[in-house]
Structure formats: structure tokens, C-alpha cells
Amino acid sequence: MVFWGTSPHYPLSAASKSAKRDARVFSMSASPAFEVHEANLHGHRAVYRVIGSGPNLVLIHGMINSSRHWEEVARRLAGSYRVIAPDLIGHGDAATPRGDYSLGAHAATIRDLLTTIGVERATIVGHSLGGGVAMQFFYQFPQRTERLVLISSGGLGDDVSPLLRGAALPGSAALLRLATRPQVVGGLAAAGARLRSRGNSSGVYLQAVARALGPLQEPGSRRAFLQTLRSVIDVQGQKVSARDRLYLLGEMPTLIVWGERDRTIPLKHGLEAQHSIPNCRFETLPRAAHFPNLEDPEGLAEVLGSFMATTSPAHIVDSEWRDVIGRRARLRRVA
């Protein structure tokens, strides 16, 4: 299922469709390694993975995930792009310091990492929590953003799964410690596999829960998870929203992708956001739930490759940014 915006960035001609097909690179046989690198940023360990060469494409993972979860997507795009996937602070192999785990802090850390490795501008892709980080990155550093891609993104509505709302409650740390015991995680994964083998779609959800709980067996990771979660979610749902600033994406080529089976963040958030973003393309992946990069990496890579091949990178400068915001600022003297 595909929904198209009205932007001239996305022509529907037969020639355009043929160009999209020709631009897709999915051969993995000769793909180089998804190399792991580390850096010391402000006294803390930062980790990122890199593969391929060409225009820069930055992939930001979601909550509890890590850069390694992008591997199948990254390998399929490495023939045309330099794919860079950082571990967010508190996730994967990155440091888990006591400190700021807000969207702004994550965005600033990614900016510092990209600056350190010599990347001035890039297409920014974010999944789930990473979508919120990607939007915050664009908002804080528009001059560094060439395109924006949001995959089953947070920050576009209030609704979120009851599981995440419950995890944000006071006292959830003790329950989380019990839920991440190896026997619990293993049992959920096995139950999910059995359900999937029987054709029950609930198996995908159980496996996703098990996959999420696995990395939280370390105390530092659990603490970082709760700090990150509570910065964006409370008992009422998502408490951080980008909806009042989506108009800022007017000149930014934007793609929204959603798994049609997503039970964590509803697909309607993406559809509603599409109508608020002028240069926006919206696509769904029938085979995916909330983790398209793991559940349908081939389909996601195809969508990303097509989007990259059929859009031109934006180049925002400070004077243009002032004009975009100023049109709605309505400055006036009040005294």
C-alpha cells in the first residue's frame, strides 16, 4: 500500500518507476562487513557501524535496539550509500552514563559523532524512538539534514502500547528486573516462535517483546532504558510531540514508513503526519509490525533506495531557516 503526496519530488511517470527499479541495490553477496567503530565523546564510549560508500545515510535505531539491528537493511544499501548507524547512548555497546537521555541529548550526541568522523550533511533515518531523535536532529541542525525518513516513528501522536505506558510507571524498575530474567525472555521467544509457525500473527509481537527485553539484563542498560522511556512516555502515552513543528519540513524531502501490523504505535499517526508535511511520501509494509528493519529488511531497503534515488537533497541555510519560522512567528510589540 502506497500513499503519495503532491510534491514534485515524487513523479508517477513510467520512466520514474523504471528509474526507481534500476536504482535499487539489494545484492549482498559482495557486500563488505558492517564494521564496528568506537570513539570517545565527552569521556564516554560511543559506538557506530559503517558500510558502503557514497552519499551519507544515517540510521538511528529505536528504544532498546542497537545499530546491529540495521545490518540487513544497511547491506542492501551499501552499494550506493555510505551507511552510518550509531548506537544511541545507553543502548547497544555504547556507554550507559547517569545523565540526560532526552531526544535533544541523543540528537546532539549524533551531531558530535558525525562531526568527529567528518560527516557534515546526511539523510537522517529514524525508527520508533529514533524517529523522534531524527526529527529533533532536523529541528536542531537543519543545515546538516538532507532528507528525513521516519519509520514507525514516535512523536507523531499520543497513543502507544500499554506495555510501554506501564513501563513508565513508578516502581516498574523492580518488575523490569524480573521480566528480563533469562528464563522469562527465553519463554517469550519460544512461545512467539510456536505461534508464528502456526500462522498466528501474535507470535510476531511476542518475539518483539522478547527481543526488546533481552538487552535489559544488565543494570546499566535497564537504568538507561527507563530514563529514555520516561523522557518521552508517561502513563497517558507519548508526552513529546513534533506535530506543531511539522510545517518546518516544507522544503525537506520526507518519507514516512509504517508496518501495517504495528501494535506499538498506530499507523494512523503516520497518515495524519503526512497531511501536515508538504513534501512527504508515505508507504506501508504489509509484512512488518513495529520493527520493519528486522521483520522486512528487504522491503524497507527497497523503499529507502527508491526514495533516495528519486529525491534531491535539501540544503538549508540559516537565512532560509529564519524565514521558515518567521512566517508564523507574528512578531509584534506588546508594551
Q: How many CA atoms lie within 13 A of 36 on its CB side?
A: 11
C-alpha cell belonging to residue 25: 541495490
Calculated CA dihedral for residues 120, 123, 125, 131, nearest 10 degrees: 70
Which of 111, 136, 127 lies closest to 231, judged by CA?
A: 136
Strand order in the sheet with 35-41: 2-3, 280-285, 254-259, 145-151, 122-127, 56-60, 82-86, 44-51, 35-41
CA 7 to CA 236: how far, in whole Å? Answer: 35
Cα 233 to its chain centre, rounded Å, is 16
Residues marked active site are found at: 128, 262, 290
Provide the H-helix boundaries in 68-149. 71-77, 103-116, 129-140
**Contact yes or no for 253/270 (Cβ under 8 A):** no
- Orientation of helix 172-179 relative to helix 182-197, angle to 10°: 70
- For residue 229, give the C-alpha cell: 522511556
Q: Give backbone dihedrals phi and psi of 41, rounded to 5 degrees, phi first.
A: -110, 115
Tracing cell 529507502 back to the chain, one arrives at 304
Rounded Cα–Cα distance for residues 254 and 52 (Å): 23
Does an H or E element contain 307, and which?
helix 297-309
Contact of 256 with 270, CB cutoff 8 Å: yes
In the block, residue with C-alpha cell 560511543: 46
As beta bridge partners, residue 51 has 83
